[in-house]
Structure 1
Amino acid sequence: MFFILGSLLASTVFHSNLPMLDERIVGGETTNIREFPHQISMRYRGNHRCGGSIYDRNTIVSAAHCVNTLADASNLTIYIGTNNIFFPTGQELAVRKFVIHDNYRTLNHDYDVALLFLDGDIEYNENAQPIELATERPENDTPVLVTGWGTTTEGGYFASDLQKVEVNIVDNSVCGSAYSILQPSMLCAGVTGGGKDACQGDSGGPLIFENKLLGIVSWGSGCARPNYPGVYASVPELRSWIEETATE
């Protein structure tokens, strides 16, 4: 479901149990940043690369795979409070540094979480607000929301305006039948029969339940394919690391 990062997207997608990094919203609808004021656009040399969420005034929560190939943060900025990624508005802040979870593994994207520390503080307003971290997973089949500017079809183009889509929690005991490498630090969400999902460009963005950050867009097989839910880094399992690292 999920593909190669942001401006470095691969045009070919294949069905496999190996992780493909997720980058877009499929089967969703246009929304407004005021509905999801925690959503940010991570930019690399000015181009949208990944999504992410505001944790506090100078810290962004995103996916480790969005930054693990970079030598440093010198070419990264964060756009806050924008609806459109091609003509962004709002606040833009440089990234001072990023920290990747020590247990992150590129082979299966276990512990796929990173914090980005900003060079300056976010000015909170109706388009820019932090999001609370979830403390527990919802039950199987619970509706949740995922947002982003990723491609709206597999192998397609980024959405210009922010998109949202509702999917349902898929218990790990069920999701494991699709992905043999599924780990306890991951959670799954999708819909029966496919058709709704995150995808290319959505990586690092939020999976939301009851206005809390439940998951971080991570990987999957293709995008919105039947029987292949999206896989997310599970915030309840990563919460302690996020809170402790953000204070360092």
Structure 2
Amino acid sequence: MEKYLYLIFILLLCDLPRNIVSRVPPSINNGDDNRIIGGYNATIEDFPYQALLMILKGLQVFQCGGSVINSQYILTAAHCVIGAGLIRARVGSTFSNTGGRVYTSFRFGTHPLYNPVTSDYDVAYVRVVPRMSFNGTNVRAVELAPRDSAVAPGTIFTVSGWGATKESGEAVQNLMAVKVPVISSEECMKSYSTITARMVCAGVPQGGEDSCQGDSGGPAVSEDGVQRGITSYGIGCGRPGFPGVYTNGDTEVIVEVVESWYTEEEEESLIKHGVAGRHLCHHQVYKQNSMSWYIIGLDSSDYMSLTKMKVSQLYLFCLYSVFFLLFADVSSKKHERREKKTEAGKIVGGSEVSIKDFPYQARLVIETGEGYFGCGGSIISDTYILTAAHCLTGANKLFVRVGSVNADEGGDLIESTDFKQHPKYNSSVYDFDVGLVRLPSAIAFDNTKRAIRLPVRKTSIPAGTRVTVSGWGATSENGEGSDTLMAVTVPALSNTRCRASYRALTQNMVCAGVPQGGKDSCQGDSGGPAVVRGNLGGVVSFGYGCARPGFPGVYARVASPPIRDWIKQNSGV
């Protein structure tokens, strides 16, 4: 009898009404980059286009904002939906945890040019079923800006959402809003070096008024009621000199793009194959050679064509996603900020190792005007350490520890103020991400301290080659650094395959990771060694998150001629 009751329960679960209240606690502190600081309480009648998105990623739930742009589509930020398996959208309510109506969506996708490293083209759609009912009072669409209409400095943006009211604070239950003036791109570039034509900045010089965590993806609307921006990112919340950055709604990024995401022909094809409506469980469309492929279920590495997938299989994926959304022990997680210097590499899924097995490993503690942070490095001679260029940005002095398995004790500690980045280092895309540290005294080599061989110029790293990465970085995304040296071995990927995850990949980079995730470098490992057949094949550079399915780690390719030549010219190695 219990078995039949359980079966009935499961079947009912797959057809749950869409107005079920989310089970995420209202104090969830997640989302990605932005939220409301220095604002005021608002009502949904003031912002009837405002949507709250609760986004399932694995077993964790994140909060973002969104804006209703027609009866079936919600506009949000691309970084909100990357890695998502299911989204619940609440519209028509002033409150984040009650009221209005909740819609479930398995159909969402990012702009095809979205770059998770630079946050360029940070826009996505969420398609809900059934269509939203507009009443003109608390649910209606926002007007989008005409294509290529300029946003003049001084334009007042009203930004709204349920994000935190202070940096690292808790999300709020009552809708809030804040008014901030747009600043010129030239002025904004003084704070952010990677501003593009698809971005617009808004804020006050003294800080104190801004969006914050949990507001990502929400609307930035000008005084004429037109949405001209999407909350994207920023350093901190309401900090003086660091305005909020918004995807520019006046460019081709948004205007006329929703229709290109889903054509009538695609919709008819989906219905023809019996997978329309709430049973459609894909979360991103990847188009190549005029063929649409769909990322299915909770594993973003599982690509298959709809024409090859049974409806029963798709139904089970949907059931699995809904089950975990409602009953998993979810916890919040804040995305690492793009401008953080420790955003790149760290060891996840590895094991503790001995310094005698990795005697070339160095630990760098970098002093900047804003404090200290850790990176990795490799001994390449008795007086030179190779590390990542982004580790050296803003550095005043470095403390280099060699010959110890421990991050903070043992071995030899050497202070240096003599270091340089590759002259072609590009902080926007992490190209040429290598740097050199010159030590004032020579390292006395022994079985815990010795140099690693560098590869011959133009040496290739074929796909499938084993790459061993080591360091003291975090052992989980947004986790704490390790006190003991750790290492993990992952296979190299071809650049062609890696570009499916990172469009800005160059010939000076190499990727390594496993499709299912779970093994990677993480925060604090940046600059550390990636060893191939006993040679230093790469330098830990960057990645989206840590060990996420479908997002391998990216490493500066040491054998790339412009990198290898620079190392030799400046170190003699």
TM-score when normalising by structure 1: 0.89
Q: Distance in 2 between matches of 1:57 and 1:129?
A: 8
CA contact (8 A) 1:77 1:94 kept: yes
* Paired position in structure 2 for 1:110: 431
Q: Distance in 2 between matches of 1:66 and 1:166?
A: 23
Residue 209 (structure 1) aligned to one of 532, 537, 551: 532
Q: Distance in 1 between matches of 2:115 and 2:518?
A: 19
* Paired position in structure 1 for 2:384: 59
CA contact (8 A) 2:392 2:420 kept: no
CA contact (8 A) 1:54 1:61 kept: yes
CA contact (8 A) 1:193 1:225 kept: yes
Amino acid paired to 1:216? V
Deviates more, 1:20-29 or 1:160-169: 20-29
Pairing 1:57-206 to 2, within 5 Å after superposition: 57-70=382-395, 72-73=396-397, 76-86=398-408, 88-135=409-456, 136-206=459-529
Q: Distance in 2 between matches of 1:37 and 1:48?
A: 22
Q: Distance in 1 between matches of 2:366 and 2:501?
A: 33
Amino acid paired to 1:66? C
CA contact (8 A) 1:186 1:234 kept: yes
Amino acid paired to 1:81? G
Q: Distance in 2 between matches of 1:115 and 1:150?
A: 20
* Paired position in structure 2 for 1:6: none
CA contact (8 A) 1:146 1:164 kept: yes
Q: Deviations over 1:193-235 (max 9, x none)?
A: 1110000000000000111100000001110011111000000
SS at match of 1:56: coil
Q: Distance in 2 between matches of 1:120 and 1:18?
A: 40
Deviates more, 1:213-222 or 1:137-146: 137-146
CA contact (8 A) 2:366 2:392 kept: no
Deviates more, 1:160-169 or 1:17-26: 17-26
Q: Distance in 2 between matches of 1:220 and 1:17?
A: 11
Q: How much does 1:48 deviate?
A: 5.6
Residue 350 (structure 2) aligned to one of 24, 28, 37: 28
* Paired position in structure 2 for 1:246: 571
Q: Distance in 2 between matches of 1:30 and 1:48?
A: 22
CA contact (8 A) 1:18 1:108 kept: no
Q: Distance in 2 between matches of 1:168 and 1:137?
A: 14
Amino acid paired to 1:225? R
Residue 17 (structure 1) aligned to one of 103, 115, 118: 115
Q: Distance in 2 between matches of 1:185 and 1:33?
A: 29
CA contact (8 A) 1:41 1:48 kept: no
Q: How much does 1:18 deviate?
A: 2.9
CA contact (8 A) 1:48 1:85 kept: no
Q: How much does 1:47 deviate?
A: 5.8
Q: Distance in 1 between matches of 2:384 and 2:363?
A: 13
Please list every run of at least 4 consecutive aligned residues from structure 1 whose deviation after the TM superposition is greater than 6 angstroms: none
Structure 2 unaligned regions, length at least 5: 1-31, 34-78, 83-113, 118-337
The alignment-based identity, stated in percent, is 37
Amino acid paired to 1:240? D
From the superposition, tell whether residues 62 and 163 of structure 1 become closer, same or farther in structure 2 (CA, over 3 Å).
same
Q: How much does 1:239 deviate?
A: 1.3
Structure 1 unaligned regions, length at least 5: 1-11
Q: Distance in 2 between matches of 1:17 and 1:207?
A: 24
Question: Quick check: which has more Rg, 1 or 2?
Answer: 2
Q: Deviations over 1:93-131 (max 9, x none)?
A: 111311111100110010000000011111101000000
CA contact (8 A) 1:17 1:221 kept: no
Amino acid paired to 1:103? K
Q: How many residues align?
A: 234
Q: Distance in 2 between matches of 1:174 and 1:44?
A: 34
CA contact (8 A) 2:529 2:538 kept: yes
Amino acid paired to 2:472? W
Q: Deviations over 1:70-104 (max 9, x none)?
A: 2x33xx11000111113x10111111311111100
Higher share in helix: 2
Amino acid paired to 1:197? D
CA RMSD of aligned residues (A): 1.9
TM-score when normalising by structure 2: 0.39
Q: How much does 1:138 deviate?
A: 2.1
Q: Distance in 2 between matches of 1:125 and 1:112?
A: 29
SS at match of 1:174: helix
Pairing 1:34-49 to 2, within 5 Å after superposition: 34-45=356-367, 49=374
Q: How much does 1:51 deviate?
A: 0.2
